[in-house]
Each structure stands twice: as structure tokens, then as C-alpha cells.
Amino acid sequence: MSVPTKIFLGLLGVTIAVWLLRGVGMLTFLPGIVIWVLVLLTIAAGVVSRVYRVVE
């Protein structure tokens, strides 16, 4: 597994965990922008991972 793929999977896991914990009320102090930043970072990491795999 390549490094970009590991970064993508790590970001995906963190994003899902934060989203779920905020949804059940445990992380309500986090502003919504944090969720959006994590989602956008995850999408960007997925694109980079895919491009890396195609170029490789």
C-alpha cells in the first residue's frame, strides 16, 4: 500500500470518527468548518492517491 493511500485512509477514518462523534453530541464544540475541511482534505487525498497510482 502506497503512502498516499495510507494518508487517504487515515483521513477518511478521522473524518468519519469526527462526523459520528459530533453527530451523537460528544464533539459539539467543534465548528462545522472543521467537518468541511476534513471532508475536502479526504477528497483531495483520494484524488492524489488515485493520480499517484495511475502515474506509478
What does the block give as the cell for 49?
A: 492517491
Report the predicted TM-score, pTM, of the whole model to 2 decimal places.
Answer: 0.85
User: Which pLDDT score, from 0 to 100, does residue 13 have?
Assistant: 97
Query: Which of 37, 11, 35 is CA-nearest to residue 23?
Result: 35
Please compute Rg for the chain using Cα positions.
Answer: 13
Q: What is the pLDDT of residues 28-56, one digit of tens each?
A: 898 989 999 999 999 999 999 999 988 87
